Structure 1
Amino acid sequence: MMMKARASRRLLVYIPSAAAIALTSCAKPPPPVYAPPQVIPTVMPLPPLGSAENLDLPPIDAQGLYITPNRNMTGEQALWHVRMALNVAALSCRDAGDIMGVNYNSMLRIHVLPLSRANMTADATYVVKYGADAVTMRDKIYTVVYNYFSLPPAQKAFCPVARDVVTTINGMAPEALIPYAPEALKRLEKPFQDFWAAYADYLRRLEEWRRRYGVPSVQILPCPDNDPICSGSGGKTPPPPGAPAGAYNIPPAQIFAPPKANPTLPK
């Protein structure tokens, strides 16, 4: 009797363990955990050197260069454009000791005669081209040239070039200035040519980015007639935006066309 009781108790002990094993073997494994796909950020291209987003590229000539107000300048005209570029640099390229300003003023003293003659040639050229409107057109075109060399994004690269050019000019004999002027103008132009090339590349990359990822559209609605506060327009539709910075307000044909004949200067 004692032995049967022990056997029965032993059997009762092992039954729950066997049932647990059977249940475990029948349970389904948990589903696999999949990691979410990696998100690759896409950054919209930005204009180079902190420039604006709405600049108009100048036209390009057959050699792939951007057409600027300095195109086709030779002789005294080229020298006068060099002088205008260096004048911009003297005002904007300020550093310790104002090296650019000091060297520019030295240039005006050292080369007063060739620079005066270049000024006379430029004035006479505008008389030949524009007649009674010579002074007005000269002032307008000079403004375009000054604004061109003042383009903010290009100043960092322009300033060291301007310092090198004015230093070279101050070490020259006066009669060497005219032959050197086209080369100097080309050097002074390069930072701006490089900037426009970088801006064209930005526009290309921006267009590619928009094709790939889309671009949000923004619709500007006119202000309601009964809302005089809307955009400060007094209830009228806001006017269209003005021309972007750098746009020319003079027909390019008038700016870029070289003179047909050299004017005769007074002796």
Structure 2
Amino acid sequence: MFQSFVYEEPNPIITVITVVTFSFLAYLGISEICGKHLQYSKFWNVNASAGSSTSSNFLQGKLSSRIGMFVLYAPACVMGFASFLMYPDGGTRFMMVKSVVTVHFLKRVLEVLFVHKYSGGMILGSALLISSSYFMFAAVMVYIQHLTLGYQEPEVDLKYIGLLIFLVGICGNFYHHYLLSKLRDSKEKGYKIPRGGLFSVVICPHYLFEIIGFVGISFISQTSFSFYCALGVALYLMGRSYVTRKWYLSKFENFPKNVKALIPFVF
């Protein structure tokens, strides 16, 4: 039944890339739950080893949050724009895939520059790991879509439904990032319990809408790679939201216990 929704796999190498990508994202999610966090946002210095010398370890160098977040998204954004020059043709679906990938990362870059408020910092190793992952996602997503040109379309066409889902995801993600940015002014560095929007029922609605956005991209693309990427991102952000909720519970005595991590009333 799944074959009705996806393109035929172009070659075995793509299958391997898909499996490796999904496994990597699932591993990151499990690592978050086990306490090994990617070092940014609230967890930017959680894994610092007391016995290690950060000054002698290049990858343990510290970046400001703004620069670190820019490093996360800028290469993938550039890759998105470059895809229009690399593959100028390809039909409606291919144009939609290139567009939503580019818009997704352009939005994140603009948020980094003009919306987010920052505290703490980011470890260089985490910034490079996440940045390279996003860049590879953008590049491989577009390249695999290019390989499907000329293949028979899936029996069930999901691209327009996918575009609607993507728009819901990107708008919901932006709205909750905006609410987070309004929690404190530019001089404040501490964290507060988020309010407004879906923050009344989950602590990470921005992650929920990011997952929705990736689901939308997978529906537009309809490749096995895109579907497994969306699932892998969901697993990672489930882990990240789980530990985020634990962090808020440990830091705020008045944190409402009915507020879930990611899925309203469920998880």
Indicate whether the TM-score tops 0.5.
no
- TM-score (normalised: structure 1): 0.32
- TM-score (normalised: structure 2): 0.32
More helix per residue:
2
Structure having the higher Rg: 1
